[in-house]
Amino acid sequence: MNSLVNNLNEKYLKLYGPLCKECELYTSFCRCKKNQTKNNIMNYINYRKEAKRTLSNVRNMYGEMALKLEHNLQSLHCVVGMMSELHELKTGLVVGDLINMKEELGDMMWYIANYDNTTSSEYKELDNIEYPLMQKYDVIVLEDTVILLLDLWKKKTFYNTNKHDDTIADLFAKLKHDVVKFCKTNEWDLGAIMYTNIEKLKKRYPEFFDTVKADNRDLKGEREILEK
């Protein structure tokens, strides 16, 4: 039994860092001030600019025939990406991997930022929302909003209609609002999450988006960046 406990402790030390002497939680879960960093933080406007650097260029990949569809294709790409990252975030919640959970939220922010870039929305910071810490904000709320966005973008693209544009704009504004709430209630620093996401993408794509590098990732090297 002692051998099993020791093996588990070694595994958790590698995954989550040493135990904090003050709260006796692993470093990844510790919220003591000495383990909180404010140096590696990024605001949303700068994050959007950095995220755009690694967005795939549909026009270059598919040529002139994609010009009329480029806007819708990129927007759909971002909404579908949000869905996949939310699924991975939920998986992280189940296994209790805090580093992975923050990674997936960072990846979701990449899609949110590039949705803004694709739709050429005004550059402005995310709302600073005050939200009670005792009132937890479920990831299901984020998922429901993205599902609605996906359905409306499907109709916009394949039914060739603009009748849902106002609803799409409202839903996307709500989604950004909800992400901030989700971070607030979990006491996560969204600025730090966005910064780490860009550092990971710099490791993956030193210059710009590359289809070969997208399918051949240095997962170990990226994990080291996430654990800093």
Every domain of the chain and the residues it spans: 1-36, 37-226
Per-residue pLDDT, averaged over 198-205, amounts to: 93
In order, the DSSP letters of 34-56 are GG---SS---HHHHHHHHHTTS-
Question: Is residue 158 a contact partner of residue 77, using CB atoms and an 8 Å limit?
Answer: no
Task: Give me the pLDDT at residue 107, please.
Answer: 93
Task: Give me the pLDDT at residue 205, please.
Answer: 92
pTM: 0.70
